[in-house]
């Protein structure tokens, strides 16, 4: 029987963080396949639209100040699968083109710790047009140590003081996944919480995700007077915790704070942070907090301490925006570490319209309800929610069969809306590594609606994507589309292909006979 071993670590130095890092480095973009690591809640078109609106507002604010010659750098930390970056850029370009107003140029820089992710982004077909336009670049970035950005496409380096425009930072599910300190407030003093990790002898043979799940974590307090010294960089927030909290375990984001401080040095004009996470900015939510539990999803995550980040930068002159209502799944905030932050009216108004009024957390709560009620929803309700979600492909994948079942009762106007939605969805589709044939589902639905030209386009896209696995039924549908469009030679070719794979396909045989006899 394998013996269990115990070791004691400072929380921020525990092996859980090395395992987390190794997991992402080994998995690359596969970490997000089939939501092993959740990505939908912070990467769907709805949240991307909200971010694009705030970024657009920020570009307007800079333009109104006359700052239109220097480019604005939009830096995404931990860009992961790349889906958020794609949707934000897609929506931001739509806003720019629709508005037709003078704005400063911008470039979006996707960063991650894992080199595999950077390589994956470079080769992703959905991102190549942005690369060609000079709107997108990439960098490997270690949030704990790095002080500069080495851009992959432009082969340039951004060093402290290089940026004349403020740096716009996007950080989704970032602060909850990088090392954090764990402190305990009790009896009017600050204690460090060391973690006692128990793991089996063969843990070094396990994959990182398995090793993380099999670990048992316990905590012991150790008095840490260094936190209470006036020379401690975040002394003010520690004093506040001593005054307001008791018997409370606090995840303290030293790595997150120092990362933002280093990024702030890159620009001569400060930064704007747009961030979303499972994180609390209200001090009362940290009162009597229990020791943290790792939330496992291939890697792991914790709760981000937005309160400490907000407090530290507000003490330095920043303004921040977090929702006045309480979040359920995801908290979205903005921190304006800028000169005269209240003058950024367009950015603040965009936050009010797209986060405060009805934001990503509200949308996700509705999405959970829709998932439970899906089989009872009518076509108008499905189409309305699809529009609300920005014609998201994941919702279409979920709803295609339900939509198909209601087509016999659908009006012409509803079918035209479905057709339009499919084209909008396809124009902003970001394929993940897992295998799913979106073109096939779209083509079959259009075929059912007798929209043969569009159906042919999508079905051919599906067939060409994997010619070795063409399905006879799909080839038969393509033959019908071709026939209805007056393309009899193409129809004959598709029928012959279908019959090579399934010689007894009755409908294909009947249509081939009819076409051959000139009927």
Outline where 205-267 has alpha helix (H). 208-214, 235-244, 254-264
Of 490, 422, 494, the closest CA to residue 454 belongs to 422
Output the pLDDT for position 208.
79
Are 267 and 204 found together in one domain? no
| pLDDT average per 10 residues of sequence, the chain (519 residues) | 71 86 74 61 92 98 97 96 95 97 98 91 95 97 95 98 98 92 94 87 74 84 93 96 95 97 98 95 94 78 94 97 94 97 98 97 94 92 96 93 95 97 95 81 96 96 78 92 93 90 86 77
Strands 189-200 and 181-186: antiparallel
b/e code 356-395 from CB counts within 10 Å (16+ = b) = beebbbbbbeebeebeeeeeebebeebbebbebbbbbbbb
- If phi > 0 it is left, if psi is from -120 to 50 it is alpha, else beta; for residue 448 that is alpha
Asked if residues 74 and 40 have their Cβ atoms less than 8 Å apart, the reply is no
Evaluate whether residue 107 is within a structural domain: yes
Are 354 and 401 found together in one domain? no
Domain end marker among 207, 236, 252: 252
Evaluate whether residue 29 is within a structural domain: no
Evaluate whether residue 472 is within a structural domain: yes
Output the pLDDT for position 295.
76
Q: Tally the domains of the chain.
A: 3
Output the pLDDT for position 503.
87
d(CA 483, CA 489): 8
Of 78, 158, 153, the closest CA to residue 123 belongs to 153
Distance of CA 457 to the CA centre of its chain: 29
d(CA 72, CA 26): 33
**Domain enclosing residue 268, as ranges:** 37-178+256-361
Evaluate whether residue 28 is within a structural domain: no
Domain end marker among 252, 279, 314: 252
Distance of CA 395 to the CA centre of its chain: 16
Are 108 and 162 found together in one domain? yes
Of 263, 329, 462, 295, the closest CA to residue 44 belongs to 329
Are 422 and 301 found together in one domain? no
Token readout for 334 is 């903005």
Classify burial at 222, counting beta carbons within 10 Å of its beta carbon; exposed 0-12, middle 13-18, buried 19 or more. Answer: exposed
Asked if residues 106 and 135 have their Cβ atoms less than 8 Å apart, the reply is yes
Q: Looking at residue 438, which CATH number applies to its domain?
A: 1.25.40.10
Are 154 and 301 found together in one domain? yes
b/e code 275-296 from CB counts within 10 Å (16+ = b) = bbbbbbbebeebeebeebeeee
Token readout for 433 is 């590594």
Would you give the DSSP letter of residue 388? H
Give the number of other CB atoms < 10 A from CB of residue 115: 11
Are 340 and 220 found together in one domain? no
Q: Does the pTM of the predicted model rise above 0.85? A: yes
Strands 106-112 and 72-77: parallel
Evaluate whether residue 335 is within a structural domain: yes
Evaluate whether residue 333 is within a structural domain: yes
Output the pLDDT for position 519.
54
Output the pLDDT for position 299.
76
Phi, psi torsion values for 304, nearest 5 degrees: -80, 140
Map residue 98 onto helix, strand or coil: helix
Q: Which residues lie closer than 8 Å to 518 by C-beta, 6 or more apart? A: none
Map residue 436 onto helix, strand or coil: coil
Are 72 and 205 found together in one domain? no
Are 238 and 287 found together in one domain? no
Of 253, 256, 241, the closest CA to residue 191 belongs to 241
Output the pLDDT for position 2.
46
Token readout for 286 is 């940290």
Are 171 and 191 found together in one domain? no
d(CA 343, CA 351): 14
Are 291 and 173 found together in one domain? yes
Token readout for 348 is 């603040």
Evaluate whether residue 31 is within a structural domain: no
Are 83 and 229 found together in one domain? no
Phi, psi torsion values for 273, nearest 5 degrees: -105, 125
Asked if residues 181 and 11 have their Cβ atoms less than 8 Å apart, the reply is yes
Token readout for 279 is 């994180």
Are 140 and 278 found together in one domain? yes
CA-based radius of gyration for the chain: 27
Q: Tokens 């792991």, residue?
A: 300
Asked if residues 151 and 158 have their Cβ atoms less than 8 Å apart, the reply is yes
Of 365, 360, 431, the closest CA to residue 394 belongs to 431
Q: Tokens 């936050």, residue?
A: 351
Asked if residues 476 and 507 have their Cβ atoms less than 8 Å apart, the reply is yes
Three-state SS annotation for 106-154 = EEEEEEECCHHHHHHHHCCHHHHHHHHCCCEEEEECCCCCCCCEECCCC
Map residue 271 onto helix, strand or coil: strand
Evaluate whether residue 30 is within a structural domain: no
Map residue 180 onto helix, strand or coil: coil
Domain end marker among 307, 328, 361: 361
d(CA 482, CA 490): 6
b/e code 484-515 from CB counts within 10 Å (16+ = b) = eeebeebbbebbebbbeeeeebeebeebbeeb
């Amino acid at each position: 029987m394998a013996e269990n071993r115990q070791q004691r670590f400072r929380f921020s130095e525990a092996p859980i963080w090395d395992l987390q890092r190794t997991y992402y480095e080994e998995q690359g973009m596969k970490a997000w396949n089939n939501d092993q690591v959740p990505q939908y809640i912070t990467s769907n078109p709805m949240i991307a639209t909200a971010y694009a609106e705030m970024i657009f507002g920020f570009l307007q604010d800079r333009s109104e100040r006359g700052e239109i010659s220097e480019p604005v750098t939009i830096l995404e930390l931990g860009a992961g699968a790349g889906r958020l970056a794609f949707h934000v850029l897609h929506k931001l370009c739509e806003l720019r083109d629709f508005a037709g107003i003078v704005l400063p140029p911008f470039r979006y820089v996707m960063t991650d710790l894992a080199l595999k992710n950077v390589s994956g982004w470079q080769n992703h077909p959905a991102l190549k047009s942005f690369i060609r336009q000079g709107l997108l670049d990439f960098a490997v970035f270690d949030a704990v140590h790095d002080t500069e950005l080495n851009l992959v496409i432009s082969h340039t380096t951004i060093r402290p003081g290089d940026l004349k425009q403020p740096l716009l930072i996007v950080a989704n599910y970032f602060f909850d996944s990088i090392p954090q300190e764990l402190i305990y407030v009790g009896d009017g003093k600050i204690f460090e919480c060391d973690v006692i990790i128990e793991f089996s002898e063969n843990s070094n043979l396990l994959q990182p995700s398995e090793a993380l799940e099999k670990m048992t974590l316990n905590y012991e307090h150790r008095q840490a007077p260094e936190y209470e010294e006036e020379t401690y960089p975040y002394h003010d927030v520690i004093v506040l915790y001593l005054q307001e909290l008791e018997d409370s375990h606090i995840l303290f984001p030293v790595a997150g704070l120092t990362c933002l401080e280093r990024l702030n040095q890159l620009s001569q004009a400060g930064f704007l942070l747009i961030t979303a996470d499972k994180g609390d900015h209200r001090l009362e939510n940290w009162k009597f907090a229990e020791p943290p539990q790792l939330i496992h999803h291939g890697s792991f995550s914790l709760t981000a301490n937005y309160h400490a980040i907000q407090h530290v930068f507000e003490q330095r002159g920043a303004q921040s925006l977090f929702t006045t209502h309480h979040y359920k799944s995801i908290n979205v905030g903005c921190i304006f570490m800028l000169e005269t932050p209240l003058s950024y009216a367009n950015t603040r108004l965009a936050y009010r319209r797209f986060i405060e009024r009805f934001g990503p957390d509200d949308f996700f709560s509705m999405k959970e309800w829709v998932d439970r009620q899906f089989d009872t929803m009518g076509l108008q309700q499905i189409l309305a929610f699809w529009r609300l979600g920005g014609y998201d492909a994941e919702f279409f994948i979920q709803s295609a069969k339900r939509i198909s079942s209601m087509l016999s009762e659908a009006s012409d106007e509803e079918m035209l809306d479905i057709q339009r939605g499919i084209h909008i969805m396809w124009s902003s589709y970001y394929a993940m590594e897992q295998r799913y044939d979106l073109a096939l589902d779209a083509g079959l639905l259009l075929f059912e609606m007798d929209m043969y030209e569009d159906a042919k386009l999508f079905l051919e896209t599906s067939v060409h994507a994997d010619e070795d696995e063409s399905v006879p039924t799909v080839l038969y549908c393509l033959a019908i589309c071709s026939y209805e469009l007056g393309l009899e030679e193409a129809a004959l070719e598709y029928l012959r292909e279908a019959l090579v794979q399934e010689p007894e396909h009755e409908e294909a045989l009947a249509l081939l006979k009819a076409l051959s006899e000139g009927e």
